[in-house]
Amino acid sequence: MLLKSMSFYRALLVCIAVALPISIGALTDQVEIGLAIGFGAFWCSPSDVSGSAKHMRNGILFSALLITLITFIANFFSQNIWILTPVFGVLLFLTSLISIFGFRGSLISFAGLLALVLSFAFNSGNIHPVVYSLLIGAGGLWYLALATIWYRLNPRASTEEALSEVFKLTAKYIKTRSKLIHPDADRILLQDELFQYQEELGELHETLREILLSERRSSGRSSYRRKRVLVFIQLIKILEQAMANPVNYEKMDDLLRNQAAPIKAFQQLMDTMCQKLHLLADSKRFKDVEADACLQEHLEEIQKEIVAYAYSSESDAEVVLILKNLYRYQVKQVDAIEKIFWIMHGGSTRNMEDLSASNAAKFITPQVYSLQIVKDNLSFQSIIFRHSLRLAVVGMFGLVIGELLEIHNAYWILLTVVVILRPNYGLTKTRAKERTIGTLIGGVVAFGVIFLVHSVVVYAILGVLSFLIAFTMIQTNYRAGAVFITLNIVFIYALLEPDLWNVIQFRVIDTAIGAGLATLGNMLLWPAWEVKNIRGVVATSVEANRKFLAEIVSLYESKSSRPNSYNLARKEAFLSVSNLSATFQRMTQEPKSQQKNMDVVYELVTLNHTFLSALASTSTFIQNHPTTEASTSFSLAAKNIDNNLDNCISLLKYNRVFEDKDADNQLSWFLVNVETKTLLEMEETPEELAENDVDRNVNEAYIIIEQLKWLYSLSNQMQHTIQKLESIN
């Protein structure tokens, strides 16, 4: 699968972009020109990532311009180390600061940092600095030409790979959900898995939105792209419905402890859904996968189990409603999967939910490029500003150490610092560890190969292969990528240097020094500990959940079709909860001294995730069932839940809280009164509820009340838990 991935094809593209001009330069006795163009292509390659063709083109163009300027400045000041050092620091700071412009800005920044560091290893030689800098820029344009040709030859590759990954991760999410149903499940561990999958899905959804929706605005409504948009919409529905939690697990455990058959039937259905999603992900063309009736057969089996339970001596009307509600969610999941098959096999999509070009723009996270963003980030409040300053100081320190100790290939220290040093400590520590281990392994393997094989041709072949593998794996497995990068460097030097033992030795030493500097720098120089930002991240998540709640209440009260504001609120809620989970994961990687109140933070992550699950569950029920007029108790409950969330935000931002105890008491009376009446009515008709939902009002009242009680309880817990965060700051 790795050889079929976009990472492999991009690595192959980089190999061609670098090797071809160098080879032509060698054949025409213009090696320096060939090297300059090859370097320019290599330094621009990081800005070529999945996304729209327009953004890819602009990213590479800006990278080419940046590396041209940086190369000229670095060569101009390269003669005097004491003048170069402060200039180097300023360039490091300014280039790193480009990361304030989002993900693609960070890639352009990385391209500039590569050019800055490697300009020490490969200077202009006999070529005039201006000409050399222009050749470097020409290398960037050469890479852009290759990337554009590749895109024209295979414009659907990025879309298909991103969709495939979404299918796989969605299947994993559903599989984990199926495990949660079992009464003996380790739900804390499984919940952590769900957090991780949701974070990854959030990132992939953003990538797909950019690819599908931005391209659609510029290229029109092609049949291919419209079908992929429709498939993407169904995948988002599947995730929302999988995340929707229509039951309280602990309550279900108590009620169904001795009823294993219905639970097993649900798990079998969910496992089959996962298999279908994996088949769709692994097929080269969606049309290669045929739909079958097995999902419907599983649904029928679940219905039989529910009816059998309802007529058993142990039947309980509340349990029947829980099972029926869970069953309805699975019906919607099966419907979404079957719609994907229908779409990809040429079925009519005329009546399916779609996005117009104007509405599509609202779902793409915009990246604003303005001087105001720069001004806003010229402060120690900005994590990127602190990271840029930290990188500049550590980089200058590494440059001076390399010069004073006369370290061989000292630029390896600088390159290690640039690659390893990240804005947060956890990722820096992980990268430092993996790069050091990868370099050691690569050094040992390279030494063994060189000890056994004495062929320049073999070294050249292994050098190219290791380069290709390194850049294929660097994004998915950093340690393995570091191994092959080391192999590539050693084999390339094997063509030039007689004393390879020294090359390997210095490579390991320089990497260790660079990793040590990066780790210490992140700990000592203006560290950006996640614990300092956690209140703001939690507040953003609560605010997003609050907006989503408001859209759901409006939907229930108006009985209208789902507006775009609902979809936008849902998207923001999912992204903010994913960001909160990612922040917590980074906290776990930081020093113990900075892991304050981890239990409290974890509880808040879980509460926000569970609250969003309950919201998704409520909205799914409202959209898929005819509902009655919104009652007074519903409006009152919604108001009180909103008040609780407002209190949470006030506590997080201002340490203030507003309480309306009269409203709380009134709400409790309404819920208890309505719930008692509903449960009494349920006890009269357990079999009818199981078979055909005769009393839909009873079902609606029970489900909505349960969800309101749950949301109110969660919002209360959240408020009390936030008060424990007082000691963190």
- The Cα 552–Cα 550 span in angstroms is 5
Structure tokens of 121? Answer: 């290893």
Q: How many CB atoms lie within 10 A of CB 316?
A: 17
CATH classification number, 157-363, choose in 1.20.1260, 2.60.120, 1.20.58, 3.30.70: 1.20.58
Least Cα distance to 59 among 4, 124, 14, 103 occurs for 103
Domain boundaries, the chain: 1-155, 157-363, 381-525, 530-727
Q: Do domains 157-363 and 530-727 have the same CATH topology?
A: yes
Average pLDDT over residues 99-117: 85
Label residue 246 by pLDDT band (50, 70, 90). low
Buried b / exposed e over 11-36, threshold 16 CB at 10 Å, is: bebbbebbebbbeebeeeeeeebbbb
CA distances for 718 relative to 292, 617, 637, 709, angstroms: 45, 19, 16, 14
pLDDT exceeding 90 applies to what percent of the chain? 8
What's the chain's length in residues? 729
Class of domain 530-727: mainly alpha
Q: What is the pLDDT of residue 657?
A: 65
At residue 93, does pLDDT exceed 90?
yes
* pLDDT tens readout for residues 201-231: 877 887 787 777 765 544 445 677 778 888 8
Q: Which of the residue ranges 120-124, 411-415, 506-510, 649-653 would you say has the lowest mean pLDDT?
A: 120-124
* pLDDT tens readout for residues 109-161: 888 888 888 876 666 667 888 898 999 999 999 999 999 998 888 877 778 88
Average pLDDT over residues 468-483: 82
- Terminal alpha carbon distance of the chain: 47
Q: What is the pLDDT of residue 64?
A: 92
* pLDDT tens readout for residues 52-89: 677 788 889 999 999 999 988 887 776 666 777 888 88
Q: What is the pLDDT of residue 209?
A: 79
- 0.95 cut: is pTM over it? no
Structure tokens of 456? Answer: 């320049």
Label residue 623 by pLDDT band (50, 70, 90). confident
Q: What is the pLDDT of residue 256?
A: 64
How does DSSP classify residue 631?
Answer: P
Name 572's Cβ contacts closer than 8 Å, sequence gap at least 6.
544, 547, 548
- The Cα 61–Cα 44 span in angstroms is 8
Average pLDDT over residues 356-378: 62
- DSSP letter string over 146-178? HHHHHHHH-TTHHHHHHHHHHHHHHHHHHHHHH
Q: What is the pLDDT of residue 668?
A: 52
pLDDT exceeding 70 applies to what percent of the chain? 79
Identify the residue with better confidence: 501 or 602. Answer: 602
* pLDDT tens readout for residues 686-704: 555 444 444 455 556 667 7
Q: What is the pLDDT of residue 676?
A: 44
At residue 105, does pLDDT exceed 80?
yes
At residue 284, does pLDDT exceed 60?
no
Sign of CA dihedral 255, 256, 259, 265: positive
* DSSP-based three-state secondary structure for 584: helix
Least Cα distance to 363 among 355, 352, 372 occurs for 355
* pLDDT tens readout for residues 500-519: 677 777 778 888 888 888 88
Return mean pLDDT, the chain.
79
Average pLDDT over residues 324-344: 84
Least Cα distance to 46 among 71, 32, 66 occurs for 66
Label residue 680 by pLDDT band (50, 70, 90). very low
Label residue 540 by pLDDT band (50, 70, 90). very high
